[in-house]
Chain A
Amino acid sequence: MRELLWKISFGMFLAAVPVSVAHAVIVLGMRKGGSEREGRRLVWLRRAANAAIVAGMAALAGYVATRWVETGHPPFSNIPESLSWMALGFCAVYLVARAHWDFPGMEAGACAGALAILAFSALFKDAAGPLVPALQSNWLVFHVFTCMVSYGAFLAAFCMAVLWLALWRKRESGRLVDRMSYHLMAFGFLLLTIGIISGAVWARQAWGRYWGWDPKETWSLITWFVYGSYLHFRRIASALGVSEERLPAVNAVFAVVGFAFVLFTYLGVSYLLPSLHSYASG
């Protein structure tokens, strides 16, 4: 049952790719004020893509719930489990963004991002082992959930940056793209802040100190600095001579660089640096 739900989720995101790509291609190729027939076809294509994304999300949520029941503990203890939460967070962030903004290719970015997370999680040995003593805490759910959803928001900002570079640069309103990127990164920053704080409170309970310059803690702080710098830079951009038209480019740079830091904090530290968080590498 558990495996079936995961496969359904993967299949749904996979099915959404050609539909959403077709939607994006037609929209980008359509002349302004296209025919009524083209308009109807677009609505159905977009609805089909979003329905597949929502179905993929539902199946993934079912997979996580089944796993929770089967293992008897919250599924937050290793990389594949946390990646499932990241995919769910990413899709949820996309749906909220989709309700506010309408750019061609958003659906394609969302299903490609979710698909990439699930495909990546399949590379890991998915052994649901028992929780080590340090992970037996109520903070586990809160800390990992907030961190993973924040990573999902940063991935969404990364996808939007790629879409801006590939599709929107010359045809969409720079101001609107700037607003969307800002909101995605600000939301991720807020959740990352809560994630770091909850981790600090938990660390004091488990290890006796709220901060110990452990590589995972330190890289989380570095990532926080990167996105914090973005939020400050954006405020003084005009004073530094960065015009409003160039803001989307600045957003794209921060979204891509910031996500590289997220990836290293999440995966690089777990595998390359000795850390108290080494139980998260598997």
Chain B
Amino acid sequence: MQNADAAAGRPAKGGAIARALRLLRSVRFALALTALIALACIAGTLVPQGPYDPNEAIARYGRVAGLLIGLLGLHRLYSTAWFLGLLGLFALSTATCTFSRGRPSLRTLGSVVVHASILLITAGAIARGLFGVNGEVALAEGETVKSFTTEDGEVPLGFELRLDDFDIRYYGEPKELLLARLSGDEAPRSIPVEVGSVISLAPDGTSIEVLRRIGDFRIDAEGVVSASDKPLNPAVEVRVRGPEGEFTEWLFARFPGFRGHDRAQRGLELRYVRQKAAIQAFESRVTVLNDQGAVTRQESILVNRPLEIGRYTLFQMDYDPKTEATSVLGVHHDPGIPLVYAGFVLLPLGLAYTFYVRPLLDRKASGDA
């Protein structure tokens, strides 16, 4: 790996720079740094990352640990100067180890490639930190934007982006049930919601009929309508018949407490339950327009299928569950990606060479000798 003095971290000879270089070349120093970084990382995963509230931290971790978290910035560990300094020192140590071994040979090739690839990844991460842009944009259906939001404020996209449609697809249809409980019943009875079906509830002639089902309940001048094709306010209209006569009413999945009639007095409790199936996909269908307002692209953005456009990459990030009509897209620009991906390719190749090719070369060399 390098000479024995440096490897064992023995006292170095020479001036301050030479001593510093020897220290950086020392594997023992690199191992100590690795241990420190690992310990810091452990702390970073145990302490929730976010704003620091001293009272909450003291209540949770005790006085000493709570204050120490604030002092060391463990609540925002990965952006603290001392942690970034440790990572920088580690990169410096890796670079010194890599480039102070003299001329690379077939024996040291794998090790050089491994360490160089770590430096490439580090360089890419630095490029991201210095020149990268991370932001997001929330778009309602039909809305057009020219900029997105970052921590530093609004940043122009360089094009116009319109959300034509936001769609959530599910694995199957939702499970819709009416839960009916007559006075005296221990548990409610589950009734599948099927428009037109009449279900007998008791021998005295009490029955329930499902009249209508609406996805997005609204009342306008024409009466009850569905405001959209999305299930934002699901409701069913039922007719209940019994010995005391009949009545109709609306039951709302989102507002189970809403009562059109005093059903308790009639000895019947009713609830409408709508359980959605698991989400299969989020899809934002967008149109990209140029400065003149002309359409240049129409694309879909899904999780695992981002859209590369100009210098930005757009990701499906979030949505508004209340309206299901607003999509939140992540907007990222990362100039360090080529360096990072080059490191990603080289790192396993270097390791494979070190573990499996070099021993073959060594064996061949010893055989020749």
A residues near B (Cβ < 8 Å) are 129-130, 132-134, 136-137, 183, 186-187, 189-190, 193-194, 197, 200-202, 204-211, 213, 215, 218-219, 221-222, 225-226, 228-229, 232-233, 235-236, 239-240, 269, 273-274
Measured between alpha carbons, how far is A221 from B44 in the docked complex, in Å?
13
Contact of A136 with B45 at beta-carbon distance under 8 Å, contacts A130-B278, A236-B7 already known: no
> Which residues does chain B contribute within 8 Å of A225, judged by CB atoms?
34-35, 37-38
25 A-B pairs with CB atoms under 8 Å apart are: A133-B280, A133-B281, A133-B302, A134-B304, A136-B281, A190-B348, A190-B351, A190-B355, A194-B348, A201-B344, A202-B304, A205-B304, A205-B305, A207-B317, A208-B134, A218-B41, A225-B37, A225-B38, A232-B1, A232-B27, A232-B30, A235-B1, A236-B1, A236-B8, A240-B8
> Which residues does chain B contribute within 8 Å of A187, judged by CB atoms?
355
B119 in the interface (beta carbon within 8 A) = no
Additional A-B contact list (10), CB under 8 Å, known A208-B306, A215-B45, A222-B38: A129-B278, A133-B304, A197-B347, A201-B344, A206-B303, A226-B38, A229-B35, A232-B31, A236-B27, A240-B8
> Which residues does chain A contribute within 8 Å of B282, judged by CB atoms?
133
> Which residues does chain A contribute within 8 Å of B38, judged by CB atoms?
222, 225-226
| Residue contact B352 to A190, C-beta cutoff 8 Å | yes
| Residue contact B45 to A205, C-beta cutoff 8 Å | no
Contact of A239 with B4 at beta-carbon distance under 8 Å, contacts A137-B304, A208-B332 already known: yes
| Residue contact B45 to A218, C-beta cutoff 8 Å | yes
> Which residues does chain A contribute within 8 Å of B280, judged by CB atoms?
130, 133
Measured between alpha carbons, how far is A232 from B31 in the docked complex, in Å?
8
B residues near A (Cβ < 8 Å) are 1, 4, 7-8, 27-28, 30-31, 34-35, 37-38, 41-42, 44-46, 48-49, 78, 125, 134, 171, 278-282, 302-306, 313, 315-317, 330, 332, 334, 337, 340-341, 344, 347-348, 351-352, 355
Measured between alpha carbons, how far is A230 from B299 in the docked complex, in Å?
48
Contact of A210 with B340 at beta-carbon distance under 8 Å, contacts A133-B281, A236-B27 already known: yes
For the complex of A and B, list the 9 residue pairs with the smallest distance between their C-beta atoms, beginning with the closest.
A239-B8, A133-B303, A208-B315, A208-B330, A215-B45, A236-B7, A137-B304, A239-B7, A130-B171
> Which residues does chain B contribute within 8 Å of A202, judged by CB atoms?
304
Query: Mostly helix, strand, loop or mixed at chain A's interface?
Result: helix
Measured between alpha carbons, how far is A207 from B304 in the docked complex, in Å?
8
> Which residues does chain B contribute within 8 Å of A200, judged by CB atoms?
344
Of A207, A221, A269, most B-chain CB atoms within 10 Å? A207
Contact of A197 with B344 at beta-carbon distance under 8 Å, contacts A133-B281, A233-B31 already known: yes
Measured between alpha carbons, how far is A74 from B360 in the docked complex, in Å?
37
Measured between alpha carbons, how far is A211 from B4 in the docked complex, in Å?
36
| Residue contact B278 to A208, C-beta cutoff 8 Å | no
> Which residues does chain A contribute within 8 Å of B278, judged by CB atoms?
129-130, 132
Closest to A240 in B: B8
| Residue contact A213 to B348, C-beta cutoff 8 Å | no
Closest to A193 in B: B348
Measured between alpha carbons, how far is A200 from B37 in the docked complex, in Å?
20
Measured CB to CB, the closest approach of chain A to B131, in angstroms, equals: 15
Closest to A205 in B: B304
> Which residues does chain A contribute within 8 Å of B35, judged by CB atoms?
225, 229
> Which residues does chain A contribute within 8 Å of B34, judged by CB atoms?
225, 228-229
> Which residues does chain A contribute within 8 Å of B313, judged by CB atoms?
208
Measured CB to CB, the closest approach of chain A to B86, in angstroms, equals: 12
> Which residues does chain A contribute within 8 Å of B348, judged by CB atoms?
190, 193-194, 197
Measured between alpha carbons, how far is A183 from B344 in the docked complex, in Å?
22
Measured between alpha carbons, how far is A225 from B90 in the docked complex, in Å?
12
Measured CB to CB, the closest approach of chain B to A139, in angstroms, equals: 8
> Which residues does chain B contribute within 8 Å of A226, judged by CB atoms?
38
Measured between alpha carbons, how far is A215 from B352 in the docked complex, in Å?
28
Measured CB to CB, the closest approach of chain B to A261, in angstroms, equals: 9
Closest to B125 in A: A211
Measured between alpha carbons, how far is A26 from B131 in the docked complex, in Å?
67
| Residue contact A206 to B30, C-beta cutoff 8 Å | no
Measured between alpha carbons, how far is A197 from B120 in the docked complex, in Å?
14
